[in-house]
Structures are given as structure tokens and as C-alpha cells.
A = this chain, B = another copy of it.
Amino acid sequence: MEIAAFQQLMRDLYLENDKRRGNTATALWLVEEVGELAEAIRRDDRENIREELADCFAWIGALANLYGIDLEEAFKEKYPQSCPTCGRNPCICTD
């Protein structure tokens, strides 16, 4: 699946609802899902980690749609086949 097709599916499913809810309330949904992911990681619950990662991924797509941002473009701009911090591939940063 292309990243653009993922964003289009999220647009079809959720954009009207996301607009109604608003940008800041939608951002809180992402924060909530990241909290659930953190819990799944703390418990090392692999099946739940899988589901929560899917949810976080989805809410990032929803936020990108609300702001009219092309995720693939934004990603490629920041990560042009090398680490934006050390400039290397693979990354040699130590943090």
C-alpha cells in the first residue's frame, strides 16, 4: 500500500469527523493512543503493541490530512536516505 493510498483511506473514513472535532481535540486522540502504546510496551504485550502502533499510525495520518500535509513528502524531506542529524546511512548518532 502506498503512503498516499493510506492517507486517502483515512481521508475517506475520517476527515469530516476530524474536521468537526477540530485540530487540537484530534491531537489529543493521538496523545491518548501513544499512551496506550506506552502501556502495551511496558507490559510487553506484543499483540496489543501491534494494534496500538496501527492506531498511532492512523491518527498521524488523520492529523496530516487535517493540516493538508502529504506525509510521504514531509518524510522524504526530513529523511532523504540519511539521518538528518549525523547525515549518515546507517545512522551513527549515539542517543
A positions within 8 Å CB-CB of B: 1-3, 6, 9, 12-17, 21, 23-24, 27, 30-31, 34, 37-38, 41-42, 46, 49-51, 53-58, 60, 63-64, 67, 69, 71-72, 74-79, 81-83, 89-93, 95
Q: How far is the CA of A56 from the CA of B9 in the complex (A)?
A: 19
A89 in contact with B13 (CB, 8 Å)? yes
Copies of this chain in its oligomeric complex: 2
**Chain A at the B interface: SS class:** helix
Complex contacts, A54 vs chain B, CB 8 Å: 71, 74-75, 77-79
Whether A16 pairs with B90 at a CB distance below 8 angstroms is yes
| Residues in B whose Cβ lies below 8 Å from that of A49 | 63, 67, 69
